[in-house]
Amino acid sequence: MSDSPALRVHRFASTREAYDVSQCYDEITDGDVLVVEGEKAIAVLMGAWPVAITAGHGEFHSGAMESASSVSDGRYAGSVAVAKEVADELGLTIEAYHLEPGPAVHRFESSAEAVAAAERGDVEEGAVLVVVFERAAAVWMNRLAVALTAEAGAFQPVAILRRPPREYACGKWAASVDAAERIAREYRYELAEPAPGHQPGQRSVCPDGVVRTVEAATDNPAALVATLAMDDGTAFPAHSCELVDAARVAAAKAAARQASAHIAHRPDPQDPAWCKAVTDLEDALGYLRHADPDAAEELMGGRTRRITLEIPRTLVAKGDILHGFGARLTVLDTDVTATPDGDAEWWAKVEGVTTADRRATYREPWRVAIALGTAMWDIVTVERVIPEPLA
Protein backbone atom coordinates (compact mmCIF):
# COMPACT_ATOMS: atom_id res chain seq x y z
CA MET A 1 0.00 0.00 0.00
CA SER A 2 3.00 2.29 0.34
CA ASP A 3 5.94 3.21 -1.88
CA SER A 4 9.32 3.92 -0.33
CA PRO A 5 8.83 5.47 3.15
CA ALA A 6 11.28 8.17 2.15
CA LEU A 7 8.82 9.44 -0.44
CA ARG A 8 5.87 9.17 1.93
CA VAL A 9 3.59 8.17 -0.94
CA HIS A 10 0.62 5.85 -0.32
CA ARG A 11 -1.52 4.42 -3.10
CA PHE A 12 -5.15 3.34 -2.75
CA ALA A 13 -8.00 1.94 -4.81
CA SER A 14 -10.43 4.69 -3.79
CA THR A 15 -10.43 8.08 -2.11
CA ARG A 16 -12.88 6.72 0.47
CA GLU A 17 -10.40 3.99 1.46
CA ALA A 18 -7.53 6.50 1.49
CA TYR A 19 -9.50 8.88 3.72
CA ASP A 20 -10.47 6.17 6.19
CA VAL A 21 -6.95 4.73 6.43
CA SER A 22 -5.41 8.18 6.92
CA GLN A 23 -7.55 8.59 10.04
CA CYS A 24 -6.82 5.21 11.59
CA TYR A 25 -3.27 4.07 10.89
CA ASP A 26 -0.07 5.52 12.35
CA GLU A 27 1.91 4.55 9.25
CA ILE A 28 0.34 7.54 7.46
CA THR A 29 1.57 10.76 9.02
CA ASP A 30 1.24 14.50 8.57
CA GLY A 31 2.56 15.55 5.15
CA ASP A 32 2.21 12.17 3.47
CA VAL A 33 0.97 11.98 -0.11
CA LEU A 34 -2.15 9.92 -0.91
CA VAL A 35 -2.64 8.77 -4.51
CA VAL A 36 -5.80 7.34 -6.10
CA GLU A 37 -5.03 6.93 -9.79
CA GLY A 38 -8.50 5.59 -10.64
CA GLU A 39 -10.13 8.83 -9.46
CA LYS A 40 -7.31 11.06 -10.78
CA ALA A 41 -6.83 12.40 -7.27
CA ILE A 42 -3.72 13.20 -5.25
CA ALA A 43 -3.89 14.61 -1.73
CA VAL A 44 -1.53 15.74 1.00
CA LEU A 45 -2.38 14.87 4.59
CA MET A 46 -2.45 18.18 6.46
CA GLY A 47 -2.87 17.33 10.11
CA ALA A 48 -5.98 15.13 10.05
CA TRP A 49 -7.20 16.46 6.69
CA PRO A 50 -6.36 14.80 3.38
CA VAL A 51 -6.56 17.82 1.05
CA ALA A 52 -6.71 17.27 -2.71
CA ILE A 53 -4.18 19.24 -4.73
CA THR A 54 -5.51 17.96 -8.05
CA ALA A 55 -8.73 18.98 -9.79
CA GLY A 56 -10.04 15.48 -9.05
CA HIS A 57 -10.71 15.03 -5.36
CA GLY A 58 -13.36 12.35 -4.78
CA GLU A 59 -13.77 12.02 -1.00
CA PHE A 60 -10.72 14.15 -0.25
CA HIS A 61 -11.22 17.71 0.94
CA SER A 62 -11.02 20.25 -1.86
CA GLY A 63 -11.30 23.33 0.30
CA ALA A 64 -7.69 24.30 0.95
CA MET A 65 -7.97 28.06 1.13
CA GLU A 66 -4.36 28.70 0.22
CA SER A 67 -1.49 27.14 -1.67
CA ALA A 68 -0.42 23.87 -0.10
CA SER A 69 3.14 25.10 -0.58
CA SER A 70 2.55 28.01 1.79
CA VAL A 71 0.34 26.42 4.48
CA SER A 72 1.95 26.56 7.93
CA ASP A 73 4.90 28.62 6.66
CA GLY A 74 5.74 26.16 3.88
CA ARG A 75 5.55 23.00 6.00
CA TYR A 76 4.03 21.03 3.11
CA ALA A 77 6.15 22.39 0.25
CA GLY A 78 8.20 19.17 0.18
CA SER A 79 5.02 17.09 0.03
CA VAL A 80 3.80 19.12 -2.94
CA ALA A 81 7.11 18.53 -4.72
CA VAL A 82 6.76 14.78 -4.20
CA ALA A 83 3.12 14.89 -5.31
CA LYS A 84 4.13 16.68 -8.50
CA GLU A 85 6.60 13.93 -9.34
CA VAL A 86 3.85 11.34 -8.94
CA ALA A 87 1.41 13.46 -10.95
CA ASP A 88 3.92 13.74 -13.82
CA GLU A 89 4.39 9.98 -13.74
CA LEU A 90 0.61 9.36 -13.95
CA GLY A 91 -0.21 12.16 -16.38
CA LEU A 92 -2.23 14.05 -13.76
CA THR A 93 -2.11 17.80 -13.13
CA ILE A 94 -1.51 19.50 -9.81
CA GLU A 95 -3.55 22.70 -9.48
CA ALA A 96 -1.15 25.52 -10.40
CA TYR A 97 -1.73 27.55 -7.26
CA HIS A 98 -0.49 24.65 -5.11
CA LEU A 99 2.92 24.59 -6.80
CA GLU A 100 4.08 28.07 -5.80
CA PRO A 101 3.63 29.81 -2.45
CA GLY A 102 0.72 32.19 -2.84
CA PRO A 103 -0.67 35.05 -0.78
CA ALA A 104 -1.30 34.44 2.92
CA VAL A 105 -4.86 33.52 3.85
CA HIS A 106 -6.29 34.47 7.25
CA ARG A 107 -9.60 33.24 8.68
CA PHE A 108 -11.67 35.33 11.08
CA GLU A 109 -14.88 35.02 13.04
CA SER A 110 -16.19 38.34 11.70
CA SER A 111 -15.30 40.92 9.07
CA ALA A 112 -15.03 43.57 11.79
CA GLU A 113 -12.41 41.45 13.56
CA ALA A 114 -10.56 41.00 10.25
CA VAL A 115 -10.46 44.74 9.57
CA ALA A 116 -9.25 45.46 13.11
CA ALA A 117 -6.46 42.89 12.78
CA ALA A 118 -5.37 44.33 9.42
CA GLU A 119 -5.33 47.88 10.77
CA ARG A 120 -3.22 46.75 13.74
CA GLY A 121 -0.62 45.42 11.32
CA ASP A 122 -1.33 41.73 12.03
CA VAL A 123 -2.09 41.17 8.33
CA GLU A 124 0.37 41.80 5.50
CA GLU A 125 -0.47 43.68 2.29
CA GLY A 126 -2.00 41.35 -0.28
CA ALA A 127 -3.32 38.90 2.31
CA VAL A 128 -6.70 37.25 1.76
CA LEU A 129 -9.22 37.65 4.58
CA VAL A 130 -11.94 35.02 4.85
CA VAL A 131 -15.01 35.11 7.09
CA VAL A 132 -16.85 31.82 6.66
CA PHE A 133 -19.95 32.74 8.67
CA GLU A 134 -20.46 35.95 6.67
CA ARG A 135 -19.70 34.29 3.30
CA ALA A 136 -17.17 37.04 2.64
CA ALA A 137 -13.66 37.09 1.18
CA ALA A 138 -11.51 40.22 0.90
CA VAL A 139 -8.00 41.34 -0.01
CA TRP A 140 -6.01 43.75 2.16
CA MET A 141 -4.66 46.23 -0.40
CA ASN A 142 -3.42 49.79 0.06
CA ARG A 143 -4.67 49.63 3.65
CA LEU A 144 -8.17 48.80 2.48
CA ALA A 145 -9.96 45.50 3.13
CA VAL A 146 -11.74 45.15 -0.22
CA ALA A 147 -14.45 42.48 -0.44
CA LEU A 148 -14.58 40.54 -3.70
CA THR A 149 -17.81 38.86 -2.60
CA ALA A 150 -21.35 40.21 -2.70
CA GLU A 151 -21.45 39.91 1.09
CA ALA A 152 -19.05 42.56 2.38
CA GLY A 153 -19.85 43.08 6.06
CA ALA A 154 -17.31 45.54 7.49
CA PHE A 155 -15.13 45.22 4.36
CA GLN A 156 -15.14 47.88 1.63
CA PRO A 157 -17.19 46.94 -1.47
CA VAL A 158 -15.09 46.15 -4.55
CA ALA A 159 -16.72 49.03 -6.46
CA ILE A 160 -14.65 51.44 -4.35
CA LEU A 161 -11.66 50.60 -6.55
CA ARG A 162 -13.44 52.13 -9.58
CA ARG A 163 -11.91 49.44 -11.79
CA PRO A 164 -11.52 45.61 -11.94
CA PRO A 165 -9.51 44.54 -8.85
CA ARG A 166 -6.87 42.71 -10.93
CA GLU A 167 -6.02 46.03 -12.61
CA TYR A 168 -5.84 48.05 -9.40
CA ALA A 169 -2.38 49.44 -8.56
CA CYS A 170 -1.03 48.15 -11.89
CA GLY A 171 -1.94 44.57 -11.01
CA LYS A 172 0.12 44.48 -7.82
CA TRP A 173 -2.45 42.29 -6.06
CA ALA A 174 -3.63 40.19 -9.02
CA ALA A 175 -2.43 36.94 -7.38
CA SER A 176 -4.31 37.83 -4.19
CA VAL A 177 -7.46 38.58 -6.18
CA ASP A 178 -7.15 35.21 -7.95
CA ALA A 179 -6.79 33.45 -4.60
CA ALA A 180 -9.74 35.25 -3.02
CA GLU A 181 -11.99 34.52 -6.00
CA ARG A 182 -10.93 30.86 -6.04
CA ILE A 183 -11.78 30.52 -2.36
CA ALA A 184 -15.13 32.22 -2.93
CA ARG A 185 -15.97 29.81 -5.75
CA GLU A 186 -14.90 26.77 -3.73
CA TYR A 187 -17.17 27.79 -0.87
CA ARG A 188 -19.92 28.98 -3.21
CA TYR A 189 -19.84 32.58 -2.07
CA GLU A 190 -21.43 35.00 -4.52
CA LEU A 191 -18.81 37.20 -6.19
CA ALA A 192 -19.51 40.93 -6.45
CA GLU A 193 -19.62 42.73 -9.78
CA PRO A 194 -16.54 44.99 -9.97
CA ALA A 195 -16.53 48.44 -11.51
CA PRO A 196 -15.41 48.35 -15.15
CA GLY A 197 -12.02 49.72 -16.15
CA HIS A 198 -11.47 52.91 -18.10
CA GLN A 199 -10.95 52.69 -21.87
CA PRO A 200 -10.30 55.41 -24.48
CA GLY A 201 -13.55 56.98 -25.66
CA GLN A 202 -15.43 56.35 -22.42
CA ARG A 203 -17.03 59.20 -20.53
CA SER A 204 -16.01 59.70 -16.91
CA VAL A 205 -16.99 62.03 -14.08
CA CYS A 206 -13.76 63.65 -12.86
CA PRO A 207 -13.02 64.74 -9.27
CA ASP A 208 -13.99 68.33 -10.13
CA GLY A 209 -17.45 67.15 -11.19
CA VAL A 210 -16.86 67.74 -14.90
CA VAL A 211 -17.67 64.95 -17.35
CA ARG A 212 -14.86 64.33 -19.84
CA THR A 213 -13.91 61.75 -22.46
CA VAL A 214 -10.97 59.45 -21.72
CA GLU A 215 -8.22 59.67 -24.34
CA ALA A 216 -5.77 57.26 -22.72
CA ALA A 217 -5.26 55.26 -19.52
CA THR A 218 -1.63 54.89 -18.41
CA ASP A 219 -0.30 52.78 -15.55
CA ASN A 220 2.36 54.32 -13.34
CA PRO A 221 4.25 51.43 -11.69
CA ALA A 222 6.19 53.78 -9.42
CA ALA A 223 3.08 55.34 -7.92
CA LEU A 224 0.97 52.16 -8.22
CA VAL A 225 -1.88 54.12 -9.79
CA ALA A 226 -3.31 54.51 -13.27
CA THR A 227 -3.68 57.98 -14.76
CA LEU A 228 -6.41 59.03 -17.17
CA ALA A 229 -5.59 61.57 -19.88
CA MET A 230 -8.75 63.46 -20.85
CA ASP A 231 -9.83 65.04 -24.12
CA ASP A 232 -9.29 68.58 -22.81
CA GLY A 233 -5.68 67.99 -21.79
CA THR A 234 -6.36 67.36 -18.09
CA ALA A 235 -5.27 64.22 -16.24
CA PHE A 236 -6.60 62.52 -13.10
CA PRO A 237 -5.90 59.35 -11.07
CA ALA A 238 -8.20 56.63 -12.37
CA HIS A 239 -9.39 55.67 -8.89
CA SER A 240 -10.78 59.20 -8.38
CA CYS A 241 -12.88 59.11 -11.57
CA GLU A 242 -16.21 57.36 -12.09
CA LEU A 243 -17.37 55.96 -15.39
CA VAL A 244 -20.64 57.29 -16.74
CA ASP A 245 -23.17 54.53 -17.35
CA ALA A 246 -23.44 54.36 -21.14
CA ALA A 247 -25.79 51.37 -21.24
CA ARG A 248 -28.98 53.42 -21.58
CA VAL A 249 -28.16 55.58 -24.60
CA ALA A 250 -30.65 53.95 -26.97
CA ALA A 251 -33.40 53.98 -24.34
CA ALA A 252 -32.71 57.65 -23.52
CA LYS A 253 -32.92 58.66 -27.20
CA ALA A 254 -36.24 56.87 -27.53
CA ALA A 255 -37.54 58.45 -24.30
CA ALA A 256 -36.50 61.92 -25.48
CA ARG A 257 -38.35 61.58 -28.77
CA GLN A 258 -41.46 60.18 -27.08
CA ALA A 259 -41.48 62.98 -24.52
CA SER A 260 -40.96 65.60 -27.26
CA ALA A 261 -43.99 64.32 -29.14
CA HIS A 262 -46.12 64.48 -25.99
CA ILE A 263 -44.97 68.01 -25.14
CA ALA A 264 -45.46 69.39 -28.63
CA HIS A 265 -48.84 67.85 -29.39
CA ARG A 266 -50.69 68.08 -26.07
CA PRO A 267 -49.44 71.14 -24.13
CA ASP A 268 -51.26 71.28 -20.82
CA PRO A 269 -49.36 72.36 -17.69
CA GLN A 270 -52.29 71.19 -15.56
CA ASP A 271 -51.90 67.62 -16.83
CA PRO A 272 -49.54 65.54 -14.61
CA ALA A 273 -48.65 63.31 -17.58
CA TRP A 274 -47.65 66.35 -19.64
CA CYS A 275 -45.51 67.74 -16.80
CA LYS A 276 -43.89 64.33 -16.46
CA ALA A 277 -43.05 64.37 -20.19
CA VAL A 278 -41.29 67.73 -19.71
CA THR A 279 -39.23 66.26 -16.87
CA ASP A 280 -38.56 63.03 -18.81
CA LEU A 281 -37.21 65.01 -21.76
CA GLU A 282 -34.80 67.00 -19.61
CA ASP A 283 -33.68 63.86 -17.76
CA ALA A 284 -33.05 62.02 -21.05
CA LEU A 285 -31.13 64.92 -22.59
CA GLY A 286 -29.13 65.46 -19.40
CA TYR A 287 -28.14 61.80 -19.36
CA LEU A 288 -27.16 61.87 -23.05
CA ARG A 289 -25.02 65.00 -22.60
CA HIS A 290 -23.03 63.07 -19.99
CA ALA A 291 -23.00 59.58 -21.49
CA ASP A 292 -22.92 60.26 -25.25
CA PRO A 293 -22.63 63.89 -26.38
CA ASP A 294 -22.82 62.78 -30.01
CA ALA A 295 -26.25 61.26 -29.36
CA ALA A 296 -27.41 64.47 -27.67
CA GLU A 297 -26.10 66.46 -30.63
CA GLU A 298 -27.89 64.12 -33.00
CA LEU A 299 -31.16 64.98 -31.25
CA MET A 300 -30.60 68.67 -30.66
CA GLY A 301 -28.39 69.50 -33.65
CA GLY A 302 -30.75 68.07 -36.23
CA ARG A 303 -34.38 69.01 -36.77
CA THR A 304 -35.66 70.87 -33.74
CA ARG A 305 -38.46 73.21 -32.90
CA ARG A 306 -38.77 76.06 -30.41
CA ILE A 307 -42.00 75.92 -28.43
CA THR A 308 -43.46 78.16 -25.76
CA LEU A 309 -44.49 76.42 -22.56
CA GLU A 310 -46.24 77.36 -19.36
CA ILE A 311 -44.66 75.26 -16.65
CA PRO A 312 -44.04 75.30 -12.90
CA ARG A 313 -40.92 77.29 -12.14
CA THR A 314 -39.17 74.21 -10.78
CA LEU A 315 -39.26 72.67 -14.28
CA VAL A 316 -37.26 75.54 -15.81
CA ALA A 317 -34.05 74.08 -17.28
CA LYS A 318 -30.65 75.34 -18.34
CA GLY A 319 -30.91 76.68 -21.90
CA ASP A 320 -34.53 77.81 -21.59
CA ILE A 321 -35.55 81.39 -22.33
CA LEU A 322 -37.53 82.56 -19.31
CA HIS A 323 -40.13 85.32 -19.68
CA GLY A 324 -40.01 87.64 -16.68
CA PHE A 325 -39.40 91.16 -15.44
CA GLY A 326 -40.57 92.48 -18.82
CA ALA A 327 -37.71 90.72 -20.64
CA ARG A 328 -36.59 87.43 -22.20
CA LEU A 329 -33.87 85.86 -20.09
CA THR A 330 -31.51 83.04 -21.06
CA VAL A 331 -31.26 80.51 -18.22
CA LEU A 332 -27.54 79.87 -17.67
CA ASP A 333 -27.97 77.54 -14.69
CA THR A 334 -30.61 76.48 -12.17
CA ASP A 335 -30.80 74.40 -9.01
CA VAL A 336 -32.39 73.99 -5.59
CA THR A 337 -30.18 74.74 -2.58
CA ALA A 338 -30.53 75.48 1.12
CA THR A 339 -30.49 79.03 2.47
CA PRO A 340 -28.38 79.95 5.53
CA ASP A 341 -31.61 79.60 7.56
CA GLY A 342 -32.00 76.01 6.35
CA ASP A 343 -34.93 76.67 4.00
CA ALA A 344 -35.05 75.23 0.47
CA GLU A 345 -34.69 77.79 -2.32
CA TRP A 346 -35.08 77.54 -6.10
CA TRP A 347 -32.74 79.79 -8.09
CA ALA A 348 -31.69 80.50 -11.65
CA LYS A 349 -28.75 82.37 -13.06
CA VAL A 350 -30.04 84.37 -16.04
CA GLU A 351 -28.98 86.94 -18.60
CA GLY A 352 -30.99 89.09 -20.97
CA VAL A 353 -31.24 87.65 -24.48
CA THR A 354 -30.88 90.99 -26.29
CA THR A 355 -29.30 94.32 -25.41
CA ALA A 356 -32.78 95.66 -24.74
CA ASP A 357 -33.49 92.76 -22.36
CA ARG A 358 -30.24 93.44 -20.51
CA ARG A 359 -31.08 97.15 -20.25
CA ALA A 360 -34.48 96.24 -18.77
CA THR A 361 -32.86 94.03 -16.12
CA TYR A 362 -29.08 93.85 -15.58
CA ARG A 363 -26.19 94.21 -17.99
CA GLU A 364 -24.36 91.20 -16.49
CA PRO A 365 -25.66 87.72 -15.63
CA TRP A 366 -27.71 87.82 -12.43
CA ARG A 367 -29.56 85.51 -10.08
CA VAL A 368 -33.25 85.22 -9.31
CA ALA A 369 -34.36 83.10 -6.34
CA ILE A 370 -37.60 82.26 -4.53
CA ALA A 371 -38.70 79.79 -1.87
CA LEU A 372 -39.03 76.25 -3.20
CA GLY A 373 -42.61 75.92 -1.98
CA THR A 374 -43.61 78.94 -4.05
CA ALA A 375 -41.59 77.81 -7.08
CA MET A 376 -43.46 74.49 -7.16
CA TRP A 377 -46.80 76.14 -8.01
CA ASP A 378 -45.60 79.36 -9.66
CA ILE A 379 -46.37 78.98 -13.39
CA VAL A 380 -43.95 80.75 -15.71
CA THR A 381 -43.55 81.03 -19.47
CA VAL A 382 -40.44 79.68 -21.16
CA GLU A 383 -39.26 79.07 -24.69
CA ARG A 384 -37.56 75.71 -25.12
CA VAL A 385 -35.87 73.94 -28.00
CA ILE A 386 -36.93 70.31 -28.28
CA PRO A 387 -36.15 67.57 -30.81
CA GLU A 388 -38.55 67.40 -33.72
CA PRO A 389 -40.79 64.34 -33.16
CA LEU A 390 -40.33 61.58 -35.70
CA ALA A 391 -42.98 61.50 -38.39
CB 319 within 8 Å of CB 383: no
Alpha-carbon span 384 to 328, nearest angstrom: 12
Alpha-carbon span 178 to 98, nearest angstrom: 13
Average pLDDT per run of 10 along the chain, which is 391 residues long?
Answer: 59 88 81 88 85 82 69 78 86 78 86 94 91 93 90 88 77 86 86 81 86 84 72 86 82 88 76 84 86 84 80 89 95 91 92 94 94 92 82 45
282-302 pLDDT tens trace = 888 888 888 888 888 888 876
CB 190 within 8 Å of CB 159: no
Residue 8's identity, in one-letter code, is R
Alpha-carbon span 159 to 43, nearest angstrom: 37
pLDDT score at 6? 55
pLDDT score at 101? 73
pLDDT score at 86? 87
Q: Distance from CA of residue 109 to its chain's centroid?
A: 26
Sheet containing strand 156-157, strands side by side: 105-107, 128-131, 136-141, 144-147, 156-157
Q: How far is CA 236 from CA 171, 172, 223, in A?
A: 19, 20, 13
pLDDT score at 4? 42
CB 207 within 8 Å of CB 236: yes
According to DSSP, residue 246 is labeled -
Among candidates 291, 288, 310, which has minimal Cα distance to 301? Answer: 288
Alpha-carbon span 179 to 152, nearest angstrom: 17
Q: How far is CA 114 from CA 129, 153, 172, in A?
A: 7, 10, 21
According to DSSP, residue 164 is labeled -
pLDDT score at 27? 77
pLDDT score at 391? 45
220-251 pLDDT tens trace = 655 556 788 999 999 988 877 878 877 788 89
